[in-house]
Structure 1
Amino acid sequence: MGGTAVVLCLILQLTQEVKASVGNCIPRKTVKYQTVSVEMFVKEGLSNVSTLLVDEETDTLFVGGRDVISALDLNNVSREIAREHWFATQERQLECIRRGKDKIRCQNYILLLHKINDSNVYVCGTNAYHPLCDHMVIQRTKMHLQGRAEESRGKCPFEPTLKYASVFVDGAFYSATSNNFLGTEPIILRSMQNPVRTEFKTSWLNEPSFVGMEIVPESEFSPDGDDDKIYVFFTETAVEFEFYDKILVSRIARICKGDLGGKRLLQRRWTSFLKARLSCSIPELNFHFNIIQDVFFLRRGKWQDSIFYGIFSQQWGRLDISAVCAYSMASIQEAFSKGSYRGPVTVEHSHVRWMVFRGEVPVPRPGACIDNFARSMGYNTSSDLPDKVLQFARDHPLMDSSVNPIGDRPALLKRSSNYTRIVVDRVTGLDKQTYDVMFLGTDDGYLHKAFNCDGEMFIVEELQLFLSPEPVQFLQLSAKKGMLYVGSMSAVVQLQVSGCHRYKYCLDCILARDPYCAWSQASHACVLLSDQTENDVRKYLFTLGNNVHLKCVPLSNLARVVWKFNGSRIQDKDSKYLLYDGGIAIFNVTVAETGFYDCLSVEKSKAKEFFITVARYALYAHQNTEKANVNAATDDNNEAEAVGFQSSLSTYLLKDATKQKSVGSQKENLLLKLLSAGFALLFFFLFIWNFYKGHISLPWKIREASSKDTNADLENPELTTGRSGAVRESSAIQTNMSFLNE
């Protein structure tokens, strides 16, 4: 008790330090349930949603619940395509109750759904604490179980609320769960092909809570002839620490896909099982988030570039902080391939301590996959490995080195939110930078969208998904469709990864910094970046004193290009500019040339000219570095916020854009007023001068002159041509005046 009191005291002392030092991300916007645009599936009979399976090939979302499997339309989850019930028999339920379990839990909870092909899904359920697995056949809008259920001890949990993990790889089923009714035999098992499992030893697995399992194809393009790996994530009671109370630690374990077990030692046991501590902490406080809640594997084209993202929480105290840590494949490989081993050593009074192994490590390296080096020594499979290697692997499953996160600290820290689920999408923003956008479900039914913006974590928004608070139990991403699928105990929700439509104004769209979104001039709305055309936004960098080339192409062969600077038309005779086919050149750029450059495509039809803005460039000069960003946007109100289309927009640019907007608008208004006054005065003098010269007749003399002019025109055709030319010239003047007054 004394030790526990000391721990609690230390935690309480750290509380204020953590709150003071940890940067807390506050969502920029909170969107309540009534205004969230979602599709929802809620049906009578659907309860205890326990798993989701996204099948993009067949446009189906499979939902596992209590006694039922539903197939939903992936494009609209409110539409149920098919349903299949799977009940535990009455006899099985009665036996479950007799063994002391609750009547509600003595039913069949569908926990595992794995796609085998487009017409076959592997399904497992608790079956009243007697787990079974079966194959479900899919035929268009119908599906049915084959009815060849097999006992699935070690594949599927007995207990509906027990955490578990599984993956289906090349016809083999890998699972991490409990192997018995009481939940006292944790196991990581491969079944269906070459069955292999972990040892029932606390040094291997000690009261684990599994959260995830993933395969990494490390054999691809491996110069060493390496094998693919299966990684398992879980929290367990630490065996390596001496303490008065149980200390929980997060783990990452690794096994080789080609592992067949040993020949004499470790028969049908993993010869490659190794585990390491998964560190997620605040280094300056030495404060650890030691419980992993969920994990997501962000797969990339090259497996070396893939990243694991995990949600973590603390064991003691009520700091109410969730952390997200990210792990590179390089750091994971280093911990397992180069790190030292730990093992139990008996000391005085039969006390066991876990010590770093300082002796000679057998060759080939224990726990390593069979690679070219092992083959060169004559070890082609794990069953060929010598006993001393297998003995060492059995006694030293724990690595001494921890797997540290990218940056050696959490990517995100959030107070007052308990994260339950995470998925991550990689997006290319308008600035051509790559962003990992995290979607995080909370225990009170909210969804947070967060990403790293200019070196700081930024939460774009939080969405209330359910009317009454309930935990986000499952979260699935379809990057192909740009959709998220969220499961609670009683409902399934579908929503877009982007929320561009929620930003009604240009500046609001910019400040959201959402990598999915951009402001569109054509639709006057914040829209998906993928819907933008190539001419909507461009980014350049120029140095004062250099020449700048801005590209612009008219919309058709019949169109010509007109350039404006801060609302005023640029004339061909201006020596500062060179107008050429395909763009404009600005020579020896100074601060005076910074501002807005609009490229308009002008096309004539039936004596009318139509002006369409093709591109807008905003030239800004940095005051401190004498550099500027050039951003093309298509905002219709001459607003400097157009620069904010960059997701990584700096605060300085936002402030500068606002100043430019104000100054630019004042200059435009003054210029337009002067031009209007000047044209009015010019028109008045032209009218007086023409009247004085007799070019304009009084109204009552027009009729008399009309008949004379007609006869003169018939006698002298050249006069007709000249008058038509004058009419065309007058029309052109009117058009130009209309353009300048635009």
Structure 2
Amino acid sequence: MGLGVLAVFLGLLLEVSSQGPHNGPRTTWKHHEVDLLEFSEPGVFNYSTLLLSNTRDSLYVGARDAIFDLSKSNVTVQNNKVQWQVPDKRVSMCMLKGKSKEQDCLNYVRVLQVLDEERLYVCGTHAFQPQCDYLSISDFTLAGRAEDGRGKCSFDPSQSFTTVMVDGELYSGTAYNFLGSEAIISRYSPLQTLLRTEYSTSWLNEPSFVFADVIREGGPDGPDGEDDRIYFFFTEVSVEYEFFGKLLIPRVARVCKGDLGGQRTLQKKWTSFLKAKLVCSMPELNFVFNVVRDIFVLEAEDWRDTLIYGVFTSQWGNVGLSAVCVYNMALVDEVFSKGKYMQKATVEQSHTKWVRYNGVTPSPRPGACINNAMRRQNISSSLHLPDKTLQFVKDHPLLEDPVLPVGGRPLLITKDVNYTQVAVARVLALDGRARHVIFTGTDTGVLHKSVVDQGEVHMVEEIQLIKSGGAIKDLLLSSETRSLYAGSDSGVVQSPTAFCGKYRSCDQCVLARDPYCAWDPRSSACVNILDQTKQAQSLKGDADACPAVPPLSPRDYQRVVVKPGSSAELPCVPPSNLALVSWRANGSLLTEASPFHLIGESGLLIYSVAPEDQGRYECWALEWAPAAGKNFSRPVAAYALSLVVRTTPRGPRKDPAPRVPETPGSEGKGSEHGPSPLTPACFTPPPPTDSSLTPPPTDSSLTLLRLLRLNPQAPGDGGAVGGPETPGSEGNPNGSEHGPSPLTPARFTPPPPPPPPTDSSLTPPPTSIDTLRLQYLQRGNVVALLCLFLLFFLLFLAALAYNCYMRYLPAPCLRLRAALVGGHKSSLRPEYRACEAGLMDPSPPLPAPGAEKIKLTQQQKRQQQQQQQQQQPAVVQNGSHTTTTTTQSQLRALRDTGYETEPDCGNGKTPSNGFGFGGGGDDSPSGQKPFDVDCESQPIEFADADDPSI
């Protein structure tokens, strides 16, 4: 049963991994390929808390033992810094509690909130004793008014928590104790008393907080008099579902800003606390993303149109999937204002289960904020709520109705990525439509940029923000500076929201479909639409609207010169991860059918270049243009491939041979003692001295080069890889100044020059070339199959021998093994042969296999029975030991069961040879060795022999 469940689960994971994700990023930028601004200070780590100032040019960064004030227009500029370290006494107390001095017993600044225009409220872990203080913005100094940080900041620097400052009041979700087992959602206010949640698993069950924010609904002055609400997002252990382990559930909880607690019930506790389940799943596969990592609230003019973007992953990290789901605030408010409640139900008096509450709901509705309808009932605050409503809230904080995403499914799904942070911007493109741009940070320091266009999402690019590859722990977006700020353990990185200048052509700018970018025809550049100094035009994603690209001219082809028989590599980097690359050779499309061409991701590789491989090669990129509804292709790279050509000397000469005129730009040093022997001239071999030097059956130069190509490992193969020819690289292809190239075939002498051809007879027909290639490939296949057959045959023999030796095979193999193993009995030591001979039966030897068995006569049987009756065993009492002796003839008649008493033939008694224990004398001869065995004086008794005297 367990294996079946595991198989179903693994199959589901495989199906999710293969069908779930959408397309990947179109463009990938490495860290060094883009302009990024970075800040870090030696000895300072964990830049995980960021805060943007709306009134100043400041980015506040909370790090380990320090707080920085950086310029938000350029984070490399440091305005101020303050050290906030832990006293030695606190460090000692932290170490006594079992924490690490180098990691835990430091001050990690984790809370940075704007209190007013002149002060920041800051909190740090302070060596597992959280403390808070006030930071003056003007002189950037701490006030020194340390406050207890329990419930405001986490004890553990690695523990997740969240805070938000609303009108001078700090709302936080964190652990309240040292062990982290008491999690609370609390409010700290200088004017009101502390409010917090109940210490109950019904309220919070091992939560992991990620985000908190306020949604302004108008307050008492609004049309309905609704109070502002603070929403908390977290992941906790489920209480309503049964699972074999701890099942995690993403939640959203809500409290009212004007909550004052109850008068008698829920004193100093939230009277408006309710929580609901967030759903982010793939319905077609029944797969749920049950861990929320981060939340971003995209506000709108009407609070009902506010969108909540969340990044989710799975509890099972081996799935390797991440998702982005978006929720509408109007639907969230409807769940909290009209959703059904859940309650505990006892099953079989031992198990508690959560079920829907079907009873009558008290009035006013439990968990609702104070509104005009309650005020008309003389309920102006939570202190006036009836106890029946408050008791119901205390026992029913969980809602049954879930919060579903917009569209009922994730907006974006990615594979092999773990999202950690999210930020969203609303961009008004040149075509007049507003698009949402989603920035998601990963645990490997990579930023993904995706665009939502009419319900569809396409990923524009990915950027390696963190050079060291660490996780992005905080991500902020500034519309003022059009920049992103990412915080990590190693530092802070500032990145622009778009890299429009990286797109060099109009089609690449348009196909990117980046709402920040547009093509400027006057400057022939891809520009940012937010830059008001340039006038760009929207082409609506149609690359055909770009200016026509002129056809390739001879100057566009990059010249590549290689040696015959060597390899040539023609690089081609596709402009997009979504583009398909194709190659054309002299106008014809190349395919993988050619055994001498390898089309890879980085270009084209031609093995053993031959004369027919010369010509023009073009690399084309084909990409789908969704706006135009068709494919768009353009050339990416073009090469002119040619071979190095040299004449062959007629005989031994001292003077340099006349050189063949070369094309302009191909001059070089050349060889000082003759041209290269690689010139396709006619060679005729001398009479061979043995069969190994038999020349090929043709004397044409093209056939010789063809044979060299078919055997690239022949002696003298240069194996050089050709590349683009640079000025000054022409000349001697071999690089030798004192002789011909080592590529000259052995024992070949150049014959007299043949008469000039009058026709195309020098070019072999294509059929002969294909035949030679086919013969070469067939020989290689036969050798490979033969080696494979021999390998399997040897493995079969080894397996057969092993199973025969281990007695896993039937009787024929066992008899063979017995014959082989039994042949080693003659190697017994001489000392034991006498003992073995005494146990042998003097009866005739056993007949050979297949012979008839010889039966004993009745007289022989009677004689044996008489001998057994006459020779009775003698029992001798010797102290406490009893020794039984048996005659030699009786030993032969005893049944051999294979169980003997002692290997020293002592019948269970240690022989008295002077080395035993006890008082026995030494009866053995003086010359006898200590371990000699005498079977005559020490008869052997079988342990299970039939003794008639017993």
Taking structure 2 as the reference length, what is the TM-score of the superposition? 0.56
Q: Deviations over 1:627-671 (max 9, x none)?
A: xxxxxxxxxxxxxxxxxxxxx97343565999xxxxxxxxxxxxx
> Which SS does the other structure have where 1:484 is aligned?
strand
Tell me the residue number matched to 1:156: 153
User: One-letter code of the match for 1:650?
Assistant: P
- The alignment status of 1:168 with 2:165, answered yes or no, reads yes
Q: Note closer, same or farther for the CA distance 1:71–1:409 as it changes in structure 2 (3 Å cut).
A: same
State the partner residue of 2:234: 234
Residue aligning to 1:672: none
Q: Is residue 54 from structure 1 mapped to residue 46 from structure 2 by the alignment?
A: no
Structure 2: distance between partners of 1:203 and 1:210: 16
Task: Name the SS of the counterpart of 1:318 in structure 2.
Answer: helix
1:322 is aligned to 322
- Are residues 361 and 7 of structure 1, via their aligned partners in 2, closer, same or farther at CA, if it must alter by over 3 Å? farther
Output the CA distance in 1 between the equivalents of 2:536 and 2:75. Answer: 34
Distance 1:512 1:539 in 2: 12
Match of 1:364, SS state, is coil
Q: Does 1:99 align with 2:123?
A: no
The residue that corresponds to 1:442 in the other structure is 442
How far apart, CA to CA, are the structure 1 residues paired with 2:454 and 2:385?
50
Cα distance in 2 for partners of 1:63, 1:158 equals 19
* Alignment partner, residue 276 of structure 1: 276
Name the CA shift for 1:250/1:79 in 2 (closer, same or farther; >3 Å): same
2:520–2:534 contact (8 Å) kept in structure 1: no
Kindly indicate whether residue 5 of structure 2 is the aligned counterpart of residue 29 of structure 1: no
The answer to whether the 8 A contact 2:17-2:321 is kept is no
Q: Write out aligned runs for 1:71-150 (5 A).
A: 71-103=69-101, 104-139=103-138, 142-150=139-147
Take 2:95 and 2:132, find their aligned partners in 1: how far apart are those partners?
21
- The SS at the match of 1:242 is coil
Q: How does 1:272-671 map to 2 (within 5 A)?
A: 272-316=272-316, 318-531=318-531, 536-537=536-537, 650-652=626-628, 655=631
Query: Quick one: structure 1 residues 249 and 7, their matched pair in 2 at CA, closer, same or farther if it must change by over 3 Å?
Result: farther
Asked if the contact 1:167–1:173 (Cα under 8 Å) also holds between the matched residues in 2, the reply is yes
CA deviation profile, 1:577-602 (whole Å, cap 9, x unmatched) = xxxxxxxxxxxxxxxxxxxxxxxxxx
How far is the alpha carbon of 1:374 from its aligned partner?
1.1
CA distance in 2, matches of 1:465, 1:534: 28
Alignment check: 8 A CA contact 2:273 2:397 kept: yes
Mapped contact 1:448–1:461 kept (Cα < 8 A) = yes
Cα displacement string for residues 142-169 of structure 1 (whole angstroms, at most 9, x for unaligned residues)? 4100000111110110100110010011
Which digits, 9 at most, give the CA deviation of each residue in 1:435-487, with x for residues without a partner? 11010111111111001235431110000112221111111111122110011
Q: What is the match of residue 224 of structure 2?
A: 224
Cα distance in 1 for residues equivalent to 2:209 and 2:310: 13
CA distance in 1, matches of 2:414, 2:446: 13
Cα separation, partners in 2 of 1:84 and 1:101, compared to 1, 3 Å: same
Distance 1:43 1:535 in 2: 41
Query: What per-residue deviation string (whole Å, max 9, x for no partner) do you get for residues 317-357 of structure 1?
Result: 61100001001011101111111001112232232110100
In the alignment, the residues of structure 2 paired with residue 536 and residue 52 of structure 1 have an alpha-carbon distance, to the nearest angstrom, of: 35
User: Residues of 2 paired with 1:97 and 1:7: CA distance?
Assistant: 46
Instruction: Indicate the residue corresponding to 2:185 in structure 1.
Output: 188
TM-score by length of 1: 0.72
How many pairs were matched up? 550
Partner of 2:206: 207
Code of the residue aligned with 1:171 in structure 2: it is G
Q: Is 187-196 or 509-518 further displaced after alignment? A: 187-196
Distance in 1 (alpha carbons) for counterparts of 2:292 and 2:326: 12
Q: Secondary structure at the match of 1:481?
A: coil
Residues 471 and 144 of structure 1: CA distance in aligned 2, closer, same or farther (over 3 Å): same
Residue 67 of structure 1: aligned partner: 65
Distance 1:56 1:377, change over 3 A: closer
Displacement of 1:534 in angstroms is: 9.7
Distance 2:454 2:360 in 1: 47
Q: Tell me the SS of whatever aligns to 2:481.
A: coil
Shift of 1:43: 1.2
Please list every run of 5 or more consecutive structure 1 residues that lacks an aligned counterpart in the other structure.
541-564, 567-647, 659-742
Residue type of the alignment partner of 2:457: M
Larger Rg: 2
Deviation of 1:535 after TM superposition, in Å, equals 6.8
Using the alignment, how far apart are the partners of 2:493 and 2:272 within structure 1?
A: 40
Q: Contact conserved, 2:518 with 2:536, CA < 8 A, in 1?
A: no
Give secondary structure in 2 for the equivalent of 1:394: helix
**How big is each residue's C-alpha offset from its partner over 1:38-81, in whole Å with a ceiling of 9 and x where there is no partner?**
11102113211120111131110111111000111111101111
Structure 1 residues 271-280 or 297-306, which shifts more? Answer: 297-306
Q: Are residues 270 and 454 of structure 1, via their aligned partners in 2, closer, same or farther at CA, if it must alter by over 3 Å?
A: closer
- Structure number with higher relative contact order (C-alpha < 8 Å, ≥ 6 residues apart): 1
What SS does structure 2 have at the residue aligned with 1:197?
coil
Cα shift readout 1:280-333 (whole Å, capped 9, x = no counterpart):
000111110000011111112222211111110111261100001001011101
SS at structure 1 position matched to 2:332: helix
- Higher helix content, 1 or 2: 1
Kept after mapping to 1: 8 A contact 2:277/2:403: yes
CA distance in 2, matches of 1:470, 1:539: 38
Offset at residue 431 of structure 1 (A): 1.8
More strand by share: 1
Task: Return the letter of the residue paired with 2:448.
Answer: H
CA distance in 1, matches of 2:84, 2:632: 63
Q: Secondary structure at the match of 2:55?
A: coil
Q: 1:73 is matched by which residue type in structure 2?
A: S
Matched residues in 2 for 1:265 and 1:10: separation? 49
Q: In structure 2, how many angstroms separate the alpha carbons of the residues matched to 1:538 and 1:453?
A: 15
After TM superposition, list the pairs within 5 Å mapping 1:673-692 onto structure 2. none
SS of the counterpart of 1:249? Answer: strand
**Cα distance, 1:460–1:113 mapped onto 2, change above 3 Å:** same
Structure 1: 4+ residue segments shifted above 4 A: 5-8, 532-536, 653-658
SS of structure 1 residue aligned to 2:284 = helix
Q: Is the 8 A contact 2:239 2:354 kept in 1?
A: yes
3-state DSSP of counterpart to 1:509:
helix
Q: In angstroms, what is the RMSD of aligned CA positions?
A: 2.2
- Give a deviation string over 1:537-587, Cα, whole Å, max 9, x none: 3789xxxxxxxxxxxxxxxxxxxxxxxx99xxxxxxxxxxxxxxxxxxxxx
The residue aligned with 1:682 is: none
Q: Deviations over 1:501-542 (max 9, x none)?
A: 1111111100110000101123221111123689743789xx
Q: Give the Cα–Cα distance (whole angstroms) in 2 for the partners of residues 115 and 522 of structure 1.
A: 46
Q: Which residue of 2 aligns with 1:177?
A: 174
- Report the counterpart of residue 249 of structure 1 in structure 2: 249
Offset at residue 8 of structure 1 (A): 4.4
- On the 8 A contact 2:282/2:409 being kept in 1, the answer is yes
Residue identity opposite 2:628 in structure 1: Y
Distance in structure 2 (CA, Å) of the matches to 1:657 and 1:382: 67
Which residue identity does 1:62 align to in structure 2?
Answer: Y
Q: Which residue number corresponds to residue 16 of structure 1? A: 14
Change (3 A) 1:534 1:478: closer
Give the counterpart letter for 1:247 in structure 2: L
Deviation of 1:427 (Å): 0.6
Identity %: 46
